[in-house]
Amino acid sequence: MSSSGIIGESRVNDPVTIVIFGATGDLTHRKLIPALYIAFIQDMLPGKFTIVGFARRDYDDAAFQGMMAESIKEFSRIPTEDEAVERFVKHIHYHKGDISSDAAYDELRYKFEDVERFPENRLFYLSIIPDLFETAVRSLKRSRLVDAPGGKQWSRVVIEKPFGRDLESAISLNNTLLQYLDESQIYRIDHYLGKETVQNILSFRFANAIFEPVFNRSYVDHIQITAAETVGMEKGRGGYYDEYGALRDMVTNHLLQLLCLVTMEAPGDLSAESIRNEKVKVLNAMKLDVRKNISDAVCRGQYGGGMDETGKEIKGYLDEDRINPDSDTDTFTAMRLSINNWRWAGVPILLRTGKRMAKKTTEVAVQFKVPPLQLFQQVQCEDDVCDITRIKPNTLIFRIQPNEGIFLKVGTKRPGMRFVVEDVKMDFSYSGKWRNSLPEAYERLLLDTLHGDSTLFTRSDEVAAEWNVVQPILDNLDRLKPYSYEPGEWGAPEADWLFHGVEGKWRNK
């Protein structure tokens, strides 16, 4: 396994065959193929590579290539050139088959005997529903399409989230995968970890001596993490979402991963194992901050119907397509956690995520304590109108999306005769400094899998530790019925209760 760490921008050398299971699906169209195209035009893919799309629908190579060319033109983040798209799609083949049929793998194996066209290093990307993971991995092993590690050629398997639906199923999925593959061959992808700002949390903390000394219980009042979406059930998503909901879809991967990066100890080096060891340690120290009842620490919500600002009707969750009309699935979940270690003991950690919220935003806000002595008055001004307020604490915000960046809110003297302080933002935005150069998360992560760098992928013990944090919620769903909330608001207002005893409130901006 490579330990090239977080930064790796070199070209992949090993010739490779990339097999995408679920090649006719949404993820392949919108993300995977456009990401591979960009890697290709940036000369990051090896000189020899072949992509094989695997799915049940009836296509030949030419039809599939045409469809992929259209997807690239529609979804590439940079303008495409017809000639480059044509050159790229010539590397793509289609293999019609059912994941449950042994014959489909045997035919693939037979095809792969042509090692000139299909290099023997193989990456299998399972862009399919989780129910099919086990069948796919077992069949890959049975048909000898994956080789054990340590040989001349490598075989790797990328698994898409969700990694289970509770602690028990996550452990069972881990056990199944490990029956057929070595941990070093498994790449559990969490695309949040491919985002620049997310990786920047680590560099920001550990490359700058000024912040790390104050990242602890003596200086931090609380941490809040928000991942809010304005959309409801996008086309066709209802069935999947109703089975999983906000907690399973967002918290047990993206939000807890963000929290790990903000709260973990510095790793000894940037190798995949060192970073993941630290993440597991901090996950093992996290738990729901339950005082008397679990509802002190958790708030679940479900959006009702309403109107948008143009007067257009917005369907309530229960009226959406492919949703059980009696469903009590959460479209919003907020929780309060504590981290029981020397650094973070007593610091409230607040997480929330939801659909149909006021604004699309994902951010981590670290709010510091107010100074011990209030020497100054603080003013808050809008245009020329200023009000005296209480001294505002400093807040450090990692903006994950949109407008990726970092800003720090500090108090500064307002020009004039009086000593009054006003909040200003020291704002760094990626688009200001590196316009158009932010790679898509999937570009980064796909290249990492080809390099064999698993730093930004989730290890099996990490997955189990994440589920362990939220399992008490799943065990108490009957006591945590979702509150209804208006679309376009910040989720269920009852989530404000989670701030009991904390200096601050949700950042509804």
Ligand X SMILES: NC(=O)c1ccc[n+]([C@@H]2O[C@H](COP(=O)([O-])OP(=O)(O)OC[C@H]3O[C@@H](n4cnc5c(N)ncnc54)[C@H](OP(=O)(O)O)[C@@H]3O)[C@@H](O)[C@H]2O)c1
Q: Which residues bind ligand X (CB under 6 A)?
A: 22-27, 55-57, 98-100, 127-130, 160-161
Task: Provide the minimum distance between the beta carbon of 53 and ligand X in the complex, in angstroms, as a whole number.
Answer: 8
| Closest of 196, 193, 211, 228 to residue 396, by C-alpha | 211
Question: Which C-beta is closer to ligand X: that of 57 or that of 322?
Answer: 57
Q: What beta strand segments (E) does 90-165 contain?
A: 92-96, 122-126, 155-160
Burial 421-460 (b: 16+ CB within 10 A, else e): bbbeeeeeebeeeeeeebbbbbbbbbbbbbbbbbbbbbbb
Contact 104, 23 (CB under 8 A): no
Cβ proximity to ligand X, 105 vs 204, nearer residue: 105
Residue tagged active-site, from 29, 254, 451, 500? 254
CB of 26 to ligand X, least distance (A): 4
SS (H, E, C) 200-213: HHHHHHHHCCCCHH
Instruction: Compare residues 59 and 219 and give the one whose CB is closer to ligand X.
Output: 59
CA distance 377 to 54: 65
Nearest distance from C-beta of residue 344 to ligand X, angstroms:
30
Pairs from 412-421 (Cβ < 8 Å, separation ≥ 24): 413/376, 414/379, 414/381, 418/377, 419/375, 419/376, 419/377, 420/376, 420/377, 420/378, 420/379, 420/388, 421/376, 421/377, 421/378, 421/379, 421/391
Minimum separation from the CB atom of position 252 to ligand X (A): 13
- The residue (of 160 and 278) whose beta carbon lies closer to ligand X is 160
Active site residue 254: yes
**Beta carbon of residue 312, minimum distance to ligand X (angstroms, whole number):** 25
> E strands along 162-271, which residues?
186-189, 220-228
The amino acid at residue 115 is V
Chain residue at closest Cβ approach to ligand X:
25
Give 24 or 185: the residue with its C-beta nearer to ligand X: 24
Closer residue to ligand X, CB minimum distance, 53 or 301: 53
Work out how close the CB of 323 gets to ligand X at its nearest, in angstroms, rounded to a whole number.
Answer: 17
DSSP secondary structure letters along 285-337: HEEE--SSSGGGTEEEEEE--EE-TTS-EE--GGGSTT--TT----SEEEEEE
> Which residues form the catalytic set?
254
